[in-house]
Amino acid sequence: MSTIHWSEITPEHIYRNRRALMRGAGGLGALATGACGGSTAIPGPAATPEAAPVRAGSDTDELGDRLTTYESVTNYNNYYEFSSDKEAPARLAKGFKTEPWTVTVGGLVRNPRTYAIEDLVGKFSPEERIYRLRCVEGWSMAIPWLGFPLHKLLKEVEPTAQAKYLRFESVFRPDEMPGQKGGFFNWPYIEGLRLDEAMHDLAILVTGLYRKILPAQNGAPLRLAVPWKYGFKSTKGIVKIDLVDKQPTTFWMAAAPNEYGFYANVNPEVPHPRWSQATERRIGELRRRKTLPFNGYGQEVAHLYAGMDLRKNF
C-alpha cells in the first residue's frame, strides 16, 4: 500500500476532535464537488450543486441526522460471501487478505486497465462523503465514507459509444469465504448500473470509512456506494468492472427475480414482496422513520429516471 496517503486517515477519536478545525478551514466539503471534463462520448457527471447532499467533517448528514457509530457500521453487515448472519462477517472476515488486490476494468472501453488497489487509491485521492445507506430489509445507517467518484475512473478508461451499462464482479474465494461454499447462490456476486447512473457524481468507489481503511466486512479494499439505491447495489470486494451493452443480470435478480429488480432505487411507494418500504429503522434508534424517495437524494438523481415507470422498473 505504498502510494496511499494513509496519513489522511486518523483514528475515530482524533477525527471527532478535528472536525471543528476542518469546518473552520472550509472543511472537506469543497473537495466533495466533482468535476470531470467530458473528452469522450460518455455523458458528463451531473455537477454537484452547492447545497448538495454530500457532507464531510461533520457528525451529522445534511439532513441533520447523527452518524451511525463506527461500532455498528463495522459489526452489522450484509456480506453473504461470509455469512447471511449480519453479526458474523466482522468475525469471519478477520484475516481476509485484501492485498495484493487488483481491479480489472474492461469490456467496451478504449483503454482497458488493471489497477493495483494502491495505484487506484493514489491516483484518485479519496475524499470524505457522508451518505445514508438504506437496506431493502428496512434498516438504514448514515456513514462517513472515504471514496472517489466512479466517473473519474470511467473517464480514464473511456467507454465506447456502445457501452450502456457497468457490470461489477466481486471476489470469488470459496476457500476463504464460507458463504460461497453453499450451492444455493450463483457466485460471484454481480451488480450493475446504467452508464449515466455510474457517471453521476454521487456514485463513488469506497476505500475507507470514518477516515480509516475500509474493514474487510465492509467490502475492502474496494466497494461501491450508490446512496439513492438499496444497499445491495453497493457491491463489495470488487475485482472487475466491465462496460457492456446489455443490462447485466445481477446476483439478486438471478436469485429471486420477482423480488429484486435492476434499478433498486429507494422507493417508499413500491413495497418489496416481503417488506414494506414505507419506513425504516436507523440502526441505533428505536422508532421507525419514514423512508424518503431516492433515499433523500431525489433532487440530484430523479432526472435520471424521467419518463420511466418506476413501479415496473423497480
Round to whole Å and give the CA distance between 87 and 284: 15
Round to whole Å and give the CA distance between 67 and 128: 13
In the bound complex, what is the minimum distance in angstroms from residue 79's beta carbon to ligand MTE? 5
Q: Per rule CB under 6 A, is residue 78 in the interface with ligand MTE?
A: yes
Taking the least distance from each CB to ligand MTE, the nearer of 67 and 133 is 133
Q: Per rule CB under 6 A, is residue 48 in the interface with ligand MTE?
A: no
CB-based contact 59:19 (threshold 8 Å):
yes
In the bound complex, what is the minimum distance in angstroms from residue 171's beta carbon to ligand MTE? 7
Stretch that binds ligand MTE, among 34-42, 79-87, 115-123, 144-152 (CB under 6 A): 79-87
Partners of residue 169 on adjacent β-strands = 190, 240
Q: Per rule CB under 6 A, is residue 236 in the interface with ligand MTE?
A: yes
Single residue of 48, 180, 234, 265 touching ligand MTE by CB under 6 A: 234
Question: Helix crossing, 150-157 with 117-124: angle to 10°?
Answer: 100
Give the contact letters, 127-156, x = binds to ligand MTE (CB under 6 A), - = no: ------x-x---------------------
Show the cell assigned to 285.
Answer: 434508534
Cβ atoms within 10 Å, residue 61: 21
Round to whole Å and give the CA distance between 238 and 228: 20
Taking the least distance from each CB to ligand MTE, the nearer of 81 and 128 is 81
Show the cell assigned to 182.
Answer: 453453499
Residues that bind ligand MTE (CB under 6 A): 77-81, 133, 135, 170, 189, 218, 231-232, 234-237
